[in-house]
Amino acid sequence: MKEKNIKKVILITGVSSGFGKECARLLAEAGHTVYGTVRKEFTELKSVKILKMDLTDVESIHRGVEEIISKEGRIDVLINNAGMHSAGPVETTPPKIMRLQMETSFMGMVHLTRFTLPHMRAQRGGTIINFSSIGGLMGLPFHSSYSAAKFAVEGFSEALRMEVSRFNIKVVVINPGDFRTGATLARRNFLAPTGENDPYKKPFTSALSVMEKNEQEGRNPLKLALKITKIVNSRNPRQRYIIGAFYERAAVKLKYLLPGKFFRWILEKNYKI
């Protein structure tokens, strides 16, 4: 069932591009009061109230939440969308990049959720939508930091869901597959600087080539944004939405049906490593 004609106060992170931008636009057009976070100056979404927020800066996160509460008195929906992409062999990816991946894609979400929860508890309800990934359900080669952050989102969301259900707060996880979001250009790639004899060079290049092709041929992010608007308006949303091509949804099921070694072999063949 859907709630009709109920306008909500929505906070969504990372609205300068991709999923965040499309979601913020559609939700604002639907009449909701939408606050969107960015790290740099951004003026494209005229119907969205823009907040400067850096997910690696706890004070910045706290200020953003308090600004919304001071103006609106409530936050009905929190959409944790923002994150970063990094790729590279575990052996050679700089630890500072691994930390940044976790700080941005996981800890930033944790801090924002913690600052929002007291207000949702006080109003006796709310919805938290956390963006994970297909890569949060299976480890992807040369994306260890990215997958680790998304796996963390999964465990965090499962635990949080049980803690806050008594307060009528719903926790939803989104697992997108390949979409044309600009992630290909934004990804930070790291390869050991040891020249042509680098033992990771060939498999890394092959895997990244497959991933970039899939992303560039992926779905329009508008399709996912339309789904998010339906989830926001739903009285009883599901706990998880896997949104992607048939083969991506099938891969998730196969992971739990097939022997681990066989499923790994399938992934290695798919990514040509």
Say what the pLDDT of residue 45 is. 87
- Residue-level pLDDT at 183: 61
* Global confidence as pTM: 0.92
Task: Using CB atoms within 10 Å of the CB of residue 32, give its burial: 0 to 12 exposed, 13 to 18 middle, 19+ buried.
Answer: buried
Could you give the CA distance from residue 38 to residue 247 in angstroms, rounded to a whole number?
Answer: 33
230 among known catalytic residues: no
Residue 146 is a catalytic residue: yes
Task: Give 26-74 as a DSSP string.
Answer: HHHHTT-EEEEEESS---S-TTSEEEE--TT-HHHHHHHHHHHHHHHS-
Buried b (16+ CB within 10 A) or exposed e, 95-111: eebbebbbbbbbbbbbb
pLDDT score at 181? 72
Question: pLDDT value at position 17?
Answer: 87
Among 8, 21, 150, 170, the active-site one is 150
202 is catalytic: no
Q: Mind listing the domains of the chain with CATH numbers?
A: 9-270 (3.40.50.720)
Active site residue 86: no
Catalytic residue among 132, 133, 144, 145: 132
pLDDT score for 192: 53
Catalytic residue, chosen from 21, 86, 146, 271, is 146
pLDDT of residue 196: 67
Question: Which residues lie across from 241 on neighbouring strands?
Answer: 174
**Over its length of 273 residues, how does the chain's per-residue pLDDT go in tens digits?**
445 558 999 999 999 988 999 999 999 999 999 999 999 887 788 899 999 999 999 999 999 999 999 999 999 999 999 998 888 899 888 899 999 999 999 999 999 999 999 999 999 999 999 999 999 999 999 999 999 999 999 999 999 999 999 999 999 999 999 988 766 555 666 665 555 678 888 899 899 999 889 888 888 889 999 999 999 999 999 999 999 999 999 999 999 999 999 999 999 999 999
Q: Catalytic residue, from 16, 105, 133, 147: name it.
A: 16
Beta-bridge partners for 79 = 12, 129
**Residue 87: enclosing H or E segment and its boundaries?**
strand 86-87
Which pLDDT does position 2 carry in this prediction?
Answer: 46
